[in-house]
Amino acid sequence: MNGFKNANGKAVLLKMVKCIQENKDYLGEVDGLIGDGDHGMNMNKGFTVFEKRFKDEDISFTEGLSELGMILLNEIGGSMGPIYGTIFMEMAEAGDGLEDIGSGGLADMLQAGLSGLYDIVDAKVGDKTLVDTLAPAADALRQAKDSGKDFTAALGEMKKAARAGRDSTKDMVAKFGRSSRLGERSRGVLDAGATSCCVILEALADGICELQ
């Protein structure tokens, strides 16, 4: 597989929705350890609204991403609304004209999402946030493409990096968000944002593979 058709991409988004819904309680638990426990609920709420509104609509992958981003920005509040909202909307804009999306296109989109994020937050890799999942995942996808791997393999690399990134947050001390107040006490527990980002990226990869 070299890529997927943007126009057929709705199913990928719906896969992302399903995975968030399935992980609602888990995300809530993770967030409860060093946060306030509402991450699962809030993400589920936003993603489910998107599903309700668009599952029967004829939309492309990038159109859907944009809609999803706006819903998250406008309807879930908290810090994750603007953060995921920005990421998805920037991704959508970067991929807007593409008919086929492959490793390169997707890598560009992820990079755009990351840049958009850096415009509104100060977090970097190592600060125990979703950046610790997203940045390595974007890098891994780019590198896999540059070393000539095919799309499926590249997506596999992206997933692996996402998981590793998420797991790396466990031993970090949080620098942002609620858990940053806890200092050393935030160590030993995963970051909720990094966890949900990993769920999303894995669902994205799996959804794309299932299109074949």
Is 161 a residue that touches other proteins (CB under 8 A)?
no
Closer Cβ to other proteins, 108 or 132, answer by number: 132
Structure tokens, 73: 């920005």
Closer Cβ to other proteins, 9 or 82, answer by number: 82
What would the x/- binding string for other proteins be over residues 69 to 108, using CB under 8 A? ----xxxxxxxxxxx-------------------------
Q: Collapse the DSSP code of 177 into the 3-class scheme (helix H, G, I; strand E, B; otherwise coil) and give the result.
A: coil
Is 21 a residue that touches other proteins (CB under 8 A)?
no
Closer Cβ to other proteins, 35 or 95, answer by number: 35
100: which strand partners?
5
Is 42 a residue that touches other proteins (CB under 8 A)?
yes
Q: Collapse the DSSP code of 4 into the 3-class scheme (helix H, G, I; strand E, B; otherwise coil) and give the result.
A: strand
Cα 39 vs. chain centroid, distance in angstroms?
Answer: 14
Task: Give the residue from 175, 193, 161, 203 showing the smallest Cα distance to 30.
Answer: 193
Structure tokens, 179: 């858990």
* Footprint on this chain of other proteins (rule: CB under 8 A): 28, 32-38, 41-42, 45, 73-83, 120-121, 176-183, 185
